[in-house]
Amino acid sequence: MDQHSPVRMEDVARVAGVSAITVSRVIHHPDKVADTTRERVLAAIETTGYVPNRVAGSLASNQTRIIGALVPTVTNSIFADTIDGLTDELGAQGYQLLLGATGYSLGEETRLINAILAQRPAGIVVTGLQHEPAAETLLRAARIPVVETWNVDGRPIDMAVGFSNFNACHAMVERLVARGARCIGYVGAPTLANDRAAQRVAGYRAAVTALGLEASDSLIYEGKFSFAAGAGRLRDLLASRPDVDAVFFGNDILALGALFECQRQGIRVPADLAIAGFDDVELAASVAPALTTVRIHRYEIGRQAAHKILERLQGDTTPPALSDLGFEIIERETTPDGGAD
């Protein structure tokens, strides 16, 4: 197979040892093909990463001016900023965004990748570096620009734009210790099928260990993305570990939920308990006390991802594989000696 061209029906036929007509029949009329032949063809499709062309005959170039993009959720404002960055950069060049939400499911991501590739997009943007093997096969076989976002701690399929989740959390723990914390709890998003969440808790563990602090599982909790989960996990943590003097939350929504819970319980922040978040959502600077957090360049992640795809489509084969946009520790009022951006 040509390493620079998408996998064709003829390639599948060759791997399966059948004719292209048989492959087409399996795709469009599987009930008319013998079971053993159909299974052999389906196995060849999975092996090669072939995606049936749903726009065949409609375009002379066999490609659209569509860029596919997959995010975990569209209800989370942090991904909305990234989508805005993609849309602004692509729209200026006459490209349209085809958006899908995976629901933090790798299986759903694979299904959506298959569906988007069937529309013959000019490029595709996905979230994170963790995918099912079938999804990786599809993305590599598509022979189009692929940009993975929100993570640079690993080897991308093609290109990646984001930041080090590990380093960001490590840096926040160091800052909390510098502000006097000695027993730091951590509450993050579920790590299953979420490489960003997994690397954030790994950064926390590495930092507390390096600084000689306790790195016990009793200090670590997971919570879904909601204010209620932040409040609930704070209650659980303080009930089991009343000696905690600071809690680092893997996203601002969890942190804000915990902050509201402290206000309900009369826990003084930061005098009794320091709190830090991650993302720097708009509300973080507006609450009282204002939330110390990690600022991520969410819009720029989307803009840079789109820019990489456009460069590739314009014939530039040299865009760097990894673009680390970094992060900022924003100290505000929920940690001692904070209050200034």
H, E, C per residue of the chain: CCCCCCCCHHHHHHHHCCCHHHHHHHHHCHHHCCHHHHHHHHHHHHHHCCCCCCCCCCCCCCCCCEEEEEECCCCCHHHHHHHHHHHHHHHCCCCEEEEEECCCCHHHHHHHHHHHHCCCCCEEEEECCCCCHHHHHHHHHCCCCEEEECCCCCCCCCEEEECCHHHHHHHHHHHHHHCCCCCEEEEECCCCCCHHHHHHHHHHHHHHHHCCCCCCHHHEEECCCCHHHHHHHHHHHHHHCCCCCEEEECCHHHHHHHHHHHHHHCCCCCCCCEEECCECCHHHHCCCCCCEEEEECHHHHHHHHHHHHHHHHCCCCCCCCEEECCEEEECCCCCCCCCCC
Say if residue 239 is in the same domain as residue 171: yes
Residues of the domain holding 317: 66-163+300-326
Q: What is the pLDDT of residue 60?
A: 45
Query: CA-to-CA distance for 219 and 240, rounded, in angstroms?
Result: 9
Position 75 scores a pLDDT of: 83
How far is the C-alpha of 61 from the C-alpha of 73, rounded, in Å?
32
- Specify the pLDDT at position 339: 47
Domains in the chain: how many in total? Answer: 3
Residue 192 lies in a domain: yes
Tens digits of residue pLDDT in 88-117 = 999 999 999 999 999 999 999 999 999 999
Same domain membership, residue 113 and residue 191: no
| pLDDT at position 301 | 98
pLDDT of residue 12: 86
Q: Is residue 15 part of a domain?
A: yes
pLDDT in tens, 203-256: 999 999 999 999 999 999 999 989 999 999 999 999 999 999 999 999 999 999
What CATH number should be reported for the domain holding residue 282? 3.40.50.2300
**Beta strand 246-249 pairing with 184-188:** parallel
- Quick one: 174 and 288 in the same domain? yes
**Model pLDDT, residue 46:** 87
Same domain, 126 and 115: yes
Measured from the Cβ of residue 67, the count of other Cβ atoms closer than 10 Å reads 29
In order along its 341 residues, the chain shows pLDDT tens digits of 555 577 888 888 899 898 888 988 888 778 788 999 999 989 988 888 887 765 554 444 556 899 999 999 988 778 999 999 999 999 999 999 999 999 999 999 999 999 999 999 999 999 999 999 999 999 999 999 999 999 999 999 999 999 999 999 999 999 999 999 999 999 999 999 999 999 999 999 999 999 999 999 999 999 998 999 999 999 999 999 999 999 999 999 999 999 999 999 999 999 999 999 999 999 999 999 999 999 999 999 999 999 999 999 999 888 789 999 999 999 999 999 854 44
Would 128 be classed as within a structural domain?
yes
CA pair distance 55, 116, nearest whole angstrom: 11
Do residues 289 and 194 share a domain?
Answer: yes
- Whole-angstrom Cα distance, residue 54 to residue 226? 39
pLDDT for 71: 97
Query: What is the pTM (predicted TM-score) of this model?
Result: 0.82
Same domain? 270 vs 309: no
Residue 30's pLDDT is: 82
Q: Is residue 145 part of a domain?
A: yes
Q: Give the CA dihedral 11, 13, 14, 19, nearest 10 degrees.
A: -130
The verdict on 24 and 121 lying in the same domain is no
Identify the residue whose tokens are 């965004």.
97
Establish if 29 belongs to a structural domain.
yes
